[in-house]
Structure 1
Amino acid sequence: MTTRTGPLKGDHPIEGREDLLAVFAGGEKPREAWRIGTEHEKFVYRRSDHSAPAYDAPGGIRDLLTEMVSFGWTPVEENGNIIALTGPDGAVSLEPAGQLELSGAPREHLHETCCEAGRHLAQVKAVGDELGIGFLGLGMWPDKSRADLPVMPKGRYAIMLSYMPKVGSLGLDMMLRTCTIQTNLDYESEADMAMKFRVGLALQPLATALFANSPFTEGRPNGFLSYRSHIWSDTDADRTGMLPFVFEDGFGYERYLDFALDVPMYFVFRDGRYIDTSGQSFRDFLDGRLPALPGERPLVSDFTDHLSTIFPEVRLKSFLEMRGADGGPWNRICALPAFWVGLLYQPDALAAAWDEVKNWPIEAHQALRDAVPKLGLRAPTATGETLLELGRRVLAIAEAGLNARGKLNASGDNESGFLDPLREVLASGKTPAERLLESYHGEWAGDLSRIYEEESF
């Protein structure tokens, strides 16, 4: 989740609707300036007993962040606690139960993205060796209950942990027990944003299936391939889901703004602290009628904070976030941006991907999203074929898109090699979760502790 790491450039009071729309329009960039941002989370555990370390325990999360400063990171504090780090490779931050996230810097091509991920993982593993902690690449804690997990000292999380149970039964699981990989991408214009949003949203269930990696809950199979994806279906209906209006004629900044303004607030950040505004209306805030801050009107930074508390399958800020994938091992960190860059950053690929889904009824998108957490690649699409069949064509489109980009590394390789983990999934027809279940029922003989050996970084 988003962590404040400093003041927002150009922050000012919101005078009207145009200031809000300018947040989206301000993200427009010419094609040559498009960049790739990759975020990936991982679970932190003690190697001695696989427990999740508390923030302030010896060798815990605070010590992990403190030790990482030696690699050139700058600490970000809240109430005297280090809660994030900033540096040339982006930002390192904490999820609610101590999951460690790298929000990578904007990169020109995937070779840079993968080098960045490699640097980060080398750093955390070096610190982990000192502190006796490891890092697990999965979509959900396989063996931990909520009660087993610590809570990080971040003000926004205290507010969210209090509010979540009021609006859904699984929101605390989302916060405490899940990890994801995300890709952030640019757009050239409002029309380009709308096309990328539609393709990204329509194919998000395919990404969920390809990266499905959360089949265990509290030590046993849970009946899902991506339980992380299922969790989002009962987290908070006001701020999650497939957003059917995206597929309607005329979709653009105005329509997304209306949606965002209708999402209840969580907080307002003032003078270094988070003020609880949970359930209150940003529209009232615009009119100076927010109960928590009577008479005060919002800044642009308040709106950008509010946008960061909206969690649909694709999210618009001043860029687009692809949010459908479970956390996973090193090679799948690089595979997710490769998948979306191949589809969305090359015009012919984007058009071909849209051709695959443009005639689907709006309700078919929701039906596919509902089916995929359990069925994975076997989920039926609007045409009656499975996601596996669709996925093979879509991956070929992504490969063609990456080939056409022609971004080469020093060895002369283009970016399409980063799709190899997905090629393997589609060739076998088995999601990562299904392979884990095979191991659990086979060579592991029901001993889920083996997952720490197999799936750690």
Structure 2
Amino acid sequence: MTTQEQAHERHAPDCGAAAPERVLARRTLPHADLLLTADDPVAAALDHVASTALTEDTGGRVGLELELHLVDLARPSRRPIWGEVRHLVDGLDPMPMGSSVTIEPGGQVELSTPPGDDAVLAIAALGLDRESLRTQLAEAGFGAAPIGTDPARPSRRINPAPRYSAMERHFDALGCAGAGKQMMTSTAALQVNLDAGPAAEWSCRLAHLRALVPVLVAASSTSPWLAGETSGWHSMRQGVWDGIDHGRSDPFPAGPPAQAWAAYALDAPLMLLLDDGVLRGVTERVSFRQWLEGTAPFDRRPVVADLDYHLTTLFPPVRPRGYLEVRCLDALPDRWWPAVAAMTATLVDDPIAADAARELCEPVAEQWEVAARDGLADERVRRAVLGCVEVAVRRGPTELSTELEALHALFDSGSSPADELRRRVEQVGPLAVLREEAGA
């Protein structure tokens, strides 16, 4: 999947003298016993992950995913129970543009669009499906709030899926139960999925996305409150991610991206294990590499299916899955998410915008925690965000110029979506804001 404006001529952005990454051949997936039969199972696993990390393409497509907190409009303080949520989602008519609707651990609903040929089409598709979801939920007395955290209700898992039960056991055992539960049940994201692009650009493209993360975190935050409390962080959603295991949530290291991702994946802690058809949470801190080397406390050796599933439990801000998942954005209200999605796509896929953003982001390239904690209160972050929004206004799709200009006006005034929500919470309380956003 991926992005950008049809009118822009595509060429490789200026990456300085960095050598392009070697093009990895796309092979038929190995047989399930590859890791068992290989002379060097660690090398076989690294090769498998690297060879499937990125898919070469010409770029340009965009896919969007938007999570929303489900709210009973008559009793917004009550988190809907599983049977209600399942009944609601099962009873939905198909989304007009083909988005899938899934249910997250805390009852959040997620809309996932098919990839669109560019950002304009992807945003239009999500907008139509979002409106259909809103209308259908309202008929049943429910709403859905697209904001980064549930500002009012206590964190609680309602989805009984074995994956989520096992995840909860893992987080409990490894000492991050609170952050793990909050991440699963009280956060919501806007995810922008982009094509990997030409192989010669992969290293530059991933390095640029990594440097862009602090700006995207600060610009997209809509999570100044969580579960009736505020920590003072600009993005409490990112504060929650900072509280889980850094081995699965930190950015993967710089370097040739496919190989860097493969090394990160093998060194990341195992979360879930399938034993005799039963998914269980791993309660020891053990890496996939240790399992391959035979030093993990398990009764069997791993196969490729174990490795592929392990990859789905890793949550860096940008994750390669053939295409690129930009995962660091808070979900935003409907008045803001189209502009933030368009900005993200523009700053990555438009070569002129990408070159400008690269220079703007350099002073804060590794400062995602500063961006999450302080937001625009940090002068370096403020300059980078405002500069990148200005670039998006100039280079973004003309069809979304109104939305982009409104976002620029908000930041230019010294405010942000997070500041806007914080002021409203201080005026009417977190529960009122949750209901307002769910019924908007």
> Does structure 2 conserve the Cα–Cα contact (< 8 Å) formed by 1:182 and 1:336?
no
Residue 162 (structure 1) aligned with residue 169 (structure 2) = yes
Partner of 1:251: 256
Partners of 2:233 and 2:97 lie apart in 1 by 38
Misfit runs of 4+, over 3 Å? 9-12, 268-273, 275-281, 284-293, 413-418, 454-457
SS at match of 2:100: strand
> Does structure 1 conserve the Cα–Cα contact (< 8 Å) formed by 2:97 and 2:129?
no
Partner of 1:47: 73
> What one-letter code is carried by the residue in structure 2 that aligns with 1:30?
T
Superposed CA deviations along residues 352-375 of structure 1, whole A, max 9, x for unmatched, are 2223345x5xxx644x22222332
What pairs up with 1:87-126 in 2 under 5 angstroms? 89-126=98-135
> Does structure 2 conserve the Cα–Cα contact (< 8 Å) formed by 1:329 and 1:456?
no
**Cα 1:317/1:270, change in 2 over 3 Å:** farther
| Structure 1 residue runs without a partner (length 5+) | 1-8, 73-86, 381-385, 404-412
Partner of 1:21: 50
> What one-letter code is carried by the residue in structure 1 that aligns with 2:425?
Y
**Cα 1:242/1:252, change in 2 over 3 Å:** closer
Partner of 1:320: 324
SS at match of 2:346: helix
Partners of 1:355 and 1:152 lie apart in 2 by 44
SS at match of 1:71: coil
Superposed CA deviations along residues 372-395 of structure 1, whole A, max 9, x for unmatched, are 233211224xxxxx3222222222
Partners of 1:93 and 1:436 lie apart in 2 by 26
Partners of 2:276 and 2:29 lie apart in 1 by 18
Partners of 1:295 and 1:305 lie apart in 2 by 15
**Cα 1:421/1:191, change in 2 over 3 Å:** farther
SS at match of 2:300: coil
Shift of 1:284: 4.8
Partner of 1:226: 235
Shift of 1:316: 2.0
Partner of 1:197: 206
Partner of 2:39: none
| Structure 2 residue runs without a partner (length 5+) | 1-27, 36-43
Q: Aligned Cα RMSD in Å?
A: 2.8
**Cα 1:192/1:221, change in 2 over 3 Å:** same
Q: 1:283 aligns with which of 270, 282, 289?
A: 289
Superposed CA deviations along residues 114-149 of structure 1, whole A, max 9, x for unmatched, are 222223223322331332211112211111122xx3
Partners of 1:309 and 1:350 lie apart in 2 by 30
Superposed CA deviations along residues 17-59 of structure 1, whole A, max 9, x for unmatched, are 433222124x21123xx31011110000111111111111xxx
Partner of 2:22: none
Q: 1:36 aligns with which of 46, 62, 66?
A: 62
SS at match of 1:321: strand
> What one-letter code is carried by the residue in structure 2 that aligns with 1:71?
P
> What one-letter code is carried by the residue in structure 1 that aligns with 2:426?
H
Partners of 2:290 and 2:347 lie apart in 1 by 39
Whose relative contact order is higher, 1 or 2, with alpha carbons under 8 Å and at least 6 apart?
Answer: 2
SS at match of 1:214: coil
Partners of 1:66 and 1:293 lie apart in 2 by 39
> What one-letter code is carried by the residue in structure 2 that aligns with 1:435?
E
> Does structure 1 conserve the Cα–Cα contact (< 8 Å) formed by 2:65 and 2:112?
yes
Count of matched residue pairs: 399
> Does structure 1 conserve the Cα–Cα contact (< 8 Å) formed by 2:97 and 2:128?
no
Partner of 1:374: 373
> Does structure 1 conserve the Cα–Cα contact (< 8 Å) formed by 2:62 and 2:192?
yes
Partner of 2:13: none
> Does structure 2 conserve the Cα–Cα contact (< 8 Å) formed by 1:335 and 1:419?
yes
> Does structure 2 conserve the Cα–Cα contact (< 8 Å) formed by 1:196 and 1:350?
no
Shift of 1:11: 7.2
Q: 2:279 aligns with which of 265, 274, 279?
A: 274
> Does structure 2 conserve the Cα–Cα contact (< 8 Å) formed by 1:184 and 1:319?
yes
Shift of 1:210: 1.5
Partners of 1:353 and 1:204 lie apart in 2 by 11
Partner of 1:453: 436
Shift of 1:338: 0.8
Partner of 1:81: none
> What one-letter code is carried by the residue in structure 2 that aligns with 1:338?
A
**Cα 1:232/1:29, change in 2 over 3 Å:** same
SS at match of 2:80: coil
> Does structure 1 conserve the Cα–Cα contact (< 8 Å) formed by 2:319 and 2:327?
yes
**Cα 1:272/1:120, change in 2 over 3 Å:** farther
> What one-letter code is carried by the residue in structure 2 that aligns with 1:376?
G
TM-score (norm 2): 0.82
SS at match of 2:335: helix
> Does structure 1 conserve the Cα–Cα contact (< 8 Å) formed by 2:146 and 2:437?
no
Shift of 1:415: 4.5
> Does structure 2 conserve the Cα–Cα contact (< 8 Å) formed by 1:24 and 1:253?
yes
Partners of 2:212 and 2:144 lie apart in 1 by 29
> Does structure 2 conserve the Cα–Cα contact (< 8 Å) formed by 1:43 and 1:136?
yes
**Cα 1:268/1:399, change in 2 over 3 Å:** farther
Superposed CA deviations along residues 58-89 of structure 1, whole A, max 9, x for unmatched, are xx111111111x327xxxxxxxxxxxxxx962
Partner of 1:353: 357
Superposed CA deviations along residues 310-353 of structure 1, whole A, max 9, x for unmatched, are 11222222122212221121233322321121111122222222
> Does structure 1 conserve the Cα–Cα contact (< 8 Å) formed by 2:65 and 2:110?
yes
Shift of 1:398: 2.8
SS at match of 1:264: coil
**Cα 1:189/1:261, change in 2 over 3 Å:** farther
Superposed CA deviations along residues 385-423 of structure 1, whole A, max 9, x for unmatched, are x322222222233344435xxxxxxxxx44444423421
